[in-house]
């Protein structure tokens, strides 16, 4: 090795050590972060307790219809698994009078039964008395009722729209932007309502992208999904279909061979799901995503920034890295919407900005989603980005790197 090569190698090793040290805080804490894979044995033990309670079999567990029929939705059922205090039980009964809740047996199995108060799974699925006390926000902060030009349609952008097909979910997220639609019973929209929505799409040649959501789009029957996707396929200007669903997170049993055969018939299909915690990325979730990918579906994730669940840079980084391992692309981090009953989940915007600062450059670009605030009154998604451009003129731009180092870069090459 020449002197120059030796010097370059020495400088490279110094730089490598500098880079390693820049994530030393994460490397120290990463082994302690619980993921669905790391605590899978605990979840399997919980599963056996749940099966015994319902006198059910492994075959029942793998049946998504059984999972839906046996959603846990009352205090007594929940208390059979979690040792709720008398105060917690009384508060939960009060909330139940006001707000619907329910979670699939599978999602229940992901809770740490011995430390449930701190569980991100528990916090997302079991209501808090804070929902009753909350006087902030509104029932419809996105003004969906004022952006619905036809039955079941929400339209906020020039070339795409939403068809809302159901209020049904496998688990009713406590931070949901459509809490107002939970109701007391599950309802899919009628065939007539779907026909009216499709008629609007047919009459709007600028619409190239249709998002089917709810509730949860994948809780429609296979037959209805096949028909709806087929009708969209017949519309020449519709280029892509998207499905909004948390099913890979809350009810992966629904992603079975029959469903995948339907989805495989109607490319291109994009699914944006919502993993909010590394605890939700389990072997069962991976299997569901594998099946969707095999069916030709393109997967992305739209996490919601939630206080006490993922408002920590190390947790969010681990979440995004775990997503990539199961071939789900982190797409958005949504700032929690100001929905009445959800204020206890909402973080300062600085929290989201701080997370983005510690993702860019510190992990794979593929693991860096876009941080989004939904503008009030349904005005659309607005990216919130750290400032990396300090100044710009005709000659040069002054930039700040992910390491907070400032450089000048030529703007024009003469």
- Domains of the chain, residue spans: 3-32, 40-133, 144-383, 386-414
- pLDDT at position 357, please? 96
Of 175-189, 305-319, 399-413, minimum mean pLDDT range: 175-189
- pLDDT at position 143, please? 65
DSSP 339: B
Partners of 212 in beta bridges: 163, 243
Decide if pLDDT at 176 tops 70: yes
**342 or 57, greater pLDDT:** 57
pLDDT digits (tens, 9 = 90+) for 216-237: 999 999 999 999 999 999 999 9
- pLDDT at position 139, please? 67
243: how many CB neighbours lie within 10 A of its CB?
25
Percentage of residues in the chain having pLDDT higher than 90: 81
Give mean pLDDT, residues 269-292: 98
In the predicted model, what is the mean pLDDT of the chain?
A: 94
Centroid of chain to Cα 178: 14
pLDDT digits (tens, 9 = 90+) for 10-53: 999 999 999 999 999 999 999 999 999 999 999 999 999 999 99
Handedness of CA 345, 368, 328, 277 (dihedral sign): negative
Half-sphere exposure of 11 (CA within 13 A, CB side): 6
Closest CA to 331 of 270, 256, 290: 270
- pLDDT at position 400, please? 92
- Band the pLDDT of 136: cuts 50, 70, 90: confident
Closest CA to 195 of 160, 236, 224, 238: 224
Partners of 339 in beta bridges: 138
- pLDDT at position 183, please? 62
- List the structure tokens of 373: 């605030």
Q: What does DSSP say about strands 240-244 and 209-213: parallel, antiparallel, or unpaired?
A: parallel
Decide if pLDDT at 146 tops 80: no
Of 39-53, 175-189, 282-296, minimum mean pLDDT range: 175-189
**20 or 140, greater pLDDT:** 20
Handedness of CA 139, 140, 141, 146 (dihedral sign): negative
- pLDDT at position 105, please? 98
Of 143-152, 186-195, 268-277, 281-290, minimum mean pLDDT range: 143-152
Distance (Å, whole) CA 209 – CA 206: 9
- Band the pLDDT of 324: cuts 50, 70, 90: very high
Most confident of 37-41, 128-132, 333-337, 340-344: 37-41
- Band the pLDDT of 142: cuts 50, 70, 90: low
Give the residue carrying structure tokens 């009964």: 93
* Cα dihedral: 10, 14, 17, 18 (round 10): -160
Q: Determine what percent of the chain falls in helix, strand and coil, rounding each to the nearest 5.
A: 45, 15, 40
- pLDDT at position 179, please? 72
- pLDDT at position 409, please? 87
Of 171-180, 318-327, 400-409, minimum mean pLDDT range: 171-180
Give mean pLDDT, residues 294-305: 98
Distance (Å, whole) CA 313 – CA 362: 11
**104 or 183, greater pLDDT:** 104
- pLDDT at position 375, please? 82
Half-sphere exposure of 176 (CA within 13 A, CB side): 26
CATH code reported for the domain at 144-383: 3.20.20.70
- Band the pLDDT of 333: cuts 50, 70, 90: very high
Centroid of chain to Cα 65: 23
Decide if pLDDT at 1 tops 90: no
Half-sphere exposure of 337 (CA within 13 A, CB side): 24
- pLDDT at position 377, please? 72
- pLDDT at position 153, please? 94
């Amino acid at each position: 090795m020449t002197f120059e090569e030796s010097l370059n190698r020495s400088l490279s090793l110094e730089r490598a050590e500098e880079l390693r040290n820049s994530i030393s805080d994460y490397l120290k804490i990463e082994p302690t972060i619980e993921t669905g894979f790391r605590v899978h044995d605990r979840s399997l033990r919980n599963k056996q307790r749940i099966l015994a309670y319902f006198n059910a079999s492994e075959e029942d567990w793998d049946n998504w219809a059984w999972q839906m029929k046996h959603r846990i939705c009352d205090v007594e059922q929940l208390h059979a698994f979690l040792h709720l205090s008398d105060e917690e039980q009384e508060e939960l009964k009060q909330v139940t009078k006001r707000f619907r809740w329910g979670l699939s047996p599978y999602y229940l199995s992901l809770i740490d039964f011995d430390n449930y108060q701190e569980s991100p799974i528990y916090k997302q699925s079991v209501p808090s008395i804070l929902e009753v006390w909350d006087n902030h926000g509104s029932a419809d902060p996105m003004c969906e009722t004022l952006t619905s030009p036809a039955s079941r349609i929400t339209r906020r952008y020039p070339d795409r729209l939403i068809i809302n097909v159901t209020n049904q979910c496998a688990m009713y997220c406590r931070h949901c932007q459509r809490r107002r639609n939970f109701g007391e019973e599950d309802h899919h929209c009628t065939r007539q309502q779907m026909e009216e929505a499709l008629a609007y799409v047919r009459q709007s040649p600028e619409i190239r992208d249709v998002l089917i959501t709810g509730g949860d789009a994948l809780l429609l029957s296979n037959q209805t999904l096949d028909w709806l996707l087929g009708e969209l396929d017949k519309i020449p200007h519709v280029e892509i279909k998207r499905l909004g669903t948390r099913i890979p997170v809350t009810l992966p049993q629904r992603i079975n061979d029959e469903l995948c055969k339907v989805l495989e018939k109607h490319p291109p299909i994009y699914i944006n799901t919502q993993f909010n915690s590394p605890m939700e990325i389990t072997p069962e979730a991976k299997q569901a995503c594998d099946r969707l990918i095999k069916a030709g579906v393109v997967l992305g994730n739209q996490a919601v920034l939630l206080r006490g669940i993922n408002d920590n840079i190390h947790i969010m980084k681990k979440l995004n890295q775990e997503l990539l391992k199961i071939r789900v692309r982190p797409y958005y981090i949504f700032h929690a919407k100001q929905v009445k009953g959800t204020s206890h989940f909402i973080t300062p915007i600085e929290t989201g900005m701080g997370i983005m600062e510690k993702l860019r450059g510190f992990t794979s670009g593929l693991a860096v989603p876009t941080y989004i605030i939904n503008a009030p009154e349904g005005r659309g998604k607005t990216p919130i980005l750290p400032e990396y451009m300090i100044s710009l003129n005709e000659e040069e731009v002054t930039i700040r790197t992910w390491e907070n180092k400032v450089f000048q870069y030529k703007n024009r090459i003469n």
